[in-house]
């Protein structure tokens, strides 16, 4: 900044400061006029994904169950179908609250979905009505439950198909291993009395082939049992009418809030700061215009362009208590100061 710019700022200080103050005042007025109590109702949802479900579909194994679930819920919320279903549920009930029906933008603007740990998802809704907030949270939860129940059921049915195939393979492997083992033992009559490798003393047998075949029988047998258990769990999930309860469970139901939420610093400051910023922009624009329009000489350095070495000396403005004088008296005073009068 040059001295000339500084001088301009102070010369027009009132003109430059008025837009800033006006912007601030308007920003505060805007905040006050739009200020209203807001209520938040929330619900905590426990989400767990059964380990037997396949992980190939829409599931990031590097995120927690809550994070995966949150992503899925946030993704679903702005879709027309889902939001319309939630609004239909909520608007059916909020008539009792004496407020207008919610819109798509109300729903999106007020809803917040965040993971609160590894398995808990927090679902909340902010509204100017304490009555509406819990209704919307409940509607959201119900709609999410419906959607994710179907999803889990679909996953479970996929899992049943998958584990049925796996069980067939496991059974086939078990049969093959048992056949191989029996064939080998039949060629070794001395092993007849310890056919059952689970009996004490079987480990004493030093025949490597015998041990390999008998271990294979045991492994395939165990594998079969595990696969069978997973298949049964998947079948149970797929057949259950409320399968969501296993993966999407409401821990803390939404309640009607007693007190409005406290306004944060950001909420309080945003509008006044916006007004202030607008005022500053206007002031900067005024400054620019004044700067560009002022072609007058104001200080000695403005005469540097003369370039002929002529000395420049500044004379101050004669002011203060002479304001009461007619303008022509400035000359009179100058003349008198220099002894120019016929009365001397």
Nearer to another protein, 241 or 317 (CB): 317
Q: What would the two tokens of residue 104 be?
A: 């798509």
DSSP category for residue 36: -
Comparing CB distances to another protein, the nearer of 241 and 337 is 337
Residue with tokens 């929330």: 42
Alpha-carbon gap, residue 55 to 48, rounded angstroms = 13
Structure tokens at 119: 């398995």
Residue 216 or 290 having the CB closest to another protein:
290
Residue 343 C-beta: closest distance to another protein, Å: 6
* Cβ closest to another protein, residue 10 vs residue 62: 10
Tokens 């879709």 belong to which residue?
79
Evaluate whether 236 touches 146 at the Cβ level (below 8 Å).
Answer: no
- Quickly list DSSP for 171-239: HHHHHHHHHHHHHHHHT-GGGGGG-STTSTTGGG---HHHHHHHHHHHHHHHHHHHHHHHHHHHHHHHH
CB of 311 to another protein, least distance (A): 5
Q: Nearer Cβ to another protein, position 13 or 212?
A: 13
Question: Which residues of this protein are in contact with another protein, per CB under 8 A?
Answer: 1-3, 6-7, 9-11, 13, 295-300, 302-303, 305-306, 308, 310-322, 324-325, 327-344
CB of 323 to another protein, least distance (A): 10
The distance of Cα 110 from the centroid of its chain, to the nearest Å, equals: 13
CB of 304 to another protein, least distance (A): 11
What's the closest the beta carbon of residue 295 comes to another protein, in angstroms? 4
- Least separation in angstroms between residue 280's CB and another protein is 20
Cβ proximity to another protein: between 61 and 344 the closer is: 344
Q: Is 115 helix (H, G, I), strand (E, B) or coil?
A: strand
Query: CA-CA distance, 130 to 39, in Å (whole number)?
Result: 5
């Amino acid at each position: 900044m040059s001295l000339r710019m500084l001088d301009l700022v102070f010369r027009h200080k009132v003109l430059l400061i008025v837009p800033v103050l006006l912007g601030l005042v308007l920003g505060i007025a805007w905040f006050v006029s739009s200020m209203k109590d807001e209520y938040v109702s929330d619900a905590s949802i426990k989400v767990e994904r059964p380990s037997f479900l396949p992980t190939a579909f829409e599931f990031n194994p590097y995120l927690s169950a809550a994070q995966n679930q949150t992503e899925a819920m946030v993704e679903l919320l702005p879709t027309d179908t889902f939001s319309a279903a939630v609004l239909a549920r909520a608007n059916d009930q909020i008539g009792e609250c004496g407020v207008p029906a919610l819109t798509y933008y109300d729903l999106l603007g007020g809803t917040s979905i965040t993971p609160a740990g590894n398995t808990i998802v927090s679902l909340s809704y902010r509204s100017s009505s304490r009555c509406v907030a819990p209704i919307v949270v409940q509607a959201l939860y119900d709609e999410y439950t419906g959607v994710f129940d179907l999803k889990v059921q679909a996953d479970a049915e996929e899992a049943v198909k998958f584990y049925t195939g796996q069980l067939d393979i496991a059974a086939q492997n078990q049969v093959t291993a048992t056949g191989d083992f029996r064939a080998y033992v039949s060629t070794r009559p001395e092993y007849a009395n310890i056919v059952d490798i689970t009996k004490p003393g079987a480990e004493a047998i030093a025949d490597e082939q015998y041990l390999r075949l008998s271990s294979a029988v045991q492994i395939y047998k165990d594998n079969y049992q595990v696969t069978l258990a997973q298949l049964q769990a998947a079948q149970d999930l797929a057949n259950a009418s409320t399968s969501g309860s296993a993966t999407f469970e409401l821990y803390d139901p939404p309640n009607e809030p007693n007190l409005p939420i406290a306004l944060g610093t950001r909420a309080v400051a945003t509008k006044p700061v916006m007004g202030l910023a607008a005022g500053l922009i206007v002031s900067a624009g005024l400054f620019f215009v004044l700067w560009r329009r002022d072609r007058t000489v104001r200080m000695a350095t403005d005469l540097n362009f003369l370039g002929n070495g002529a000395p420049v000396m500044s004379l101050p403005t004669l002011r203060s208590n002479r304001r009461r004088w007619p303008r022509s008296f400035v000359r009179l005073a100058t003349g008198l100061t220099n002894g120019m009068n016929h009365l001397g």
